[in-house]
Structure 1
């Protein structure tokens, strides 16, 4: 490596690194259904298990439809072959069984946010614990800055989210952000890709755990907003999300590859 890089300023080095990452970082060639199944398994392996609670969906090519898991299956049982294709009314177009009735708010959010390609909702334990305090998630550590200034907060629990009122409320609460903390409930991620959504869900639960740990010891100190946004933009890039997802997929697949079938 040339010593010329020592003459570059911070902004130039960041730009140089981003170009290199876009060139060299590559993910795996999974199908959409395989990515969704892998996301279910990855989240299960990383503390997002809550029995049959939670939903993961991804837009399909056909307008007004999306893939989701079959009600009655846990995240650890989801395979590419047992996913359902449903329409906005949750009618099953492909597959057997039924979708979770709580998926109704996904339909509302997809309508409100054309940019969103994948939605994740889980009751991960640290996030659920934090939600009981009715306080927003605080992002105050470098590792969590992928979510900096990007987490909305719904301070009151509207009840079981199976009605249209809840769909409108949740779609409005998240606004244009990628994440939402729902009081007395859990987390919601709305992202531009399955890979990014998975990484943000993992980051959310870790941030919630760190919030609880730090708050139990003292007052959480804020970070500089400009540095927080800089770190977010540094981490939240398509290629980084793709290779991070591939890493977690490899970890999960060491236990078996049945989810790809």
Structure 2
């Protein structure tokens, strides 16, 4: 929880709050162009049943997702609430991450343009800008590609590659971020996509960039890369999308 989180008087109230943040994240991902057909998913643990998580319904466009559309599934992939199907890759990837990382409340993955492009390079982000320092020594690479992730063993390999980091670059695939809240996981994804875009612009200039010195990159990470920063930065985006598309709360 963060300073923007209200006090809840029941589990039902907290659950609805979380579902609305999750629905808003899908609307934001759509607005930023992170939709790619049926691909992409964000999950969040249920506040009461920690081995259950909420996920977007399969074949519902991110721009159409509402809080009431969200699906609740257990760690075995059983649908407990919801009237749609679920994405098999969403289950394979996210269930493995939630099992491996009990500290993680939410995880986000989508086929964003710059994330996919950058992932083909098989390398990490460099501390070239202040914003990129949010991921300094806090992201990793899954340096393999074997096809669409439907197998649980493949999801576990991704979770292993993520390790204790907030993000992992999936080679030839895209980005995946995690957080202690939906707000955090969604913001890190948005910020990482932007960092990939900026680094690719810099590299396309043909000039050799000047990286931020390690000690200052670490210092900037402590200013830009902590959970409370993500919560702060997500808030104006949430407020914006709710004002523009209030139906997402339903």
| TM-score in terms of structure 2 length | 0.89
Is 2:26 the counterpart of 1:37? no
Deviations 1:85-134 (A, max 9, x none): 00112211011111110021211111111110000001110111111233
Alignment of 1:87-166 (within 5 A): 87-103=74-90, 104-166=92-154
Greater alpha carbon shift after TM alignment, 97-106 vs 128-137: 128-137
The answer to whether the Cα contact below 8 Å between 1:28 and 1:246 also exists between their aligned partners in 2 is: no
Residue 71 of structure 1 contacts residue 97 of structure 1 at CA under 8 Å; is this kept in 2?
yes
> Take 1:44 and 1:231, find their aligned partners in 2: how far apart are those partners?
30
Query: How do 1:13-52 and structure 2 match up within 5 A?
Result: 26-27=3-4, 29=6, 31-52=17-38
User: Post-superposition shift, 1:238?
Assistant: 4.2
| Alignment RMSD (CA, Å) | 1.7
Q: Find the counterpart in structure 1 of residue 68 from structure 2.
A: 81
Contact between 2:138 and 2:166, CA under 8 Å: does it hold in 1? Answer: yes
Distance 2:73 2:164 in 1: 25
1:231 Cα deviation after fit: 1.3
* Maintained 8 Å contact 1:139/1:207: no
The alpha carbon displacement at 1:184 in A equals: 0.8
Q: Is the 8 A contact 1:147 1:203 kept in 2?
A: no
Q: Secondary structure at the match of 1:35?
A: helix
TM-superposed CA distance for 1:235, in Å, is: 2.2
* Structure 1 moving runs of 4+ over 4 Å: none
What is the CA deviation profile of residues 210-255 of structure 1, one whole-angstrom value per residue up to 9, with x for unaligned ones?
A: 1110111133432112211221221234443323222001221232
Does 2:207 align with 1:227? no
170-179 or 239-248, larger mean C-alpha shift: 239-248
- Note the C-alpha offset of 1:26: 4.8
Q: 1:54-97: CA deviations, max 9, x gaps?
A: 11000112031100000011211111010000011221101111
Partners in 2 of 1:107 and 1:159 — Cα distance? 18
Secondary structure at the aligned position of 1:254 is classed as: helix
Q: Which structure 1 segments of 5+ residues have no match?
A: 1-24
Report how many aligned residue pairs link the two structures: 237
What is the aligned partner in structure 2 of residue 59 from structure 1?
A: 45
SS at match of 1:180: strand
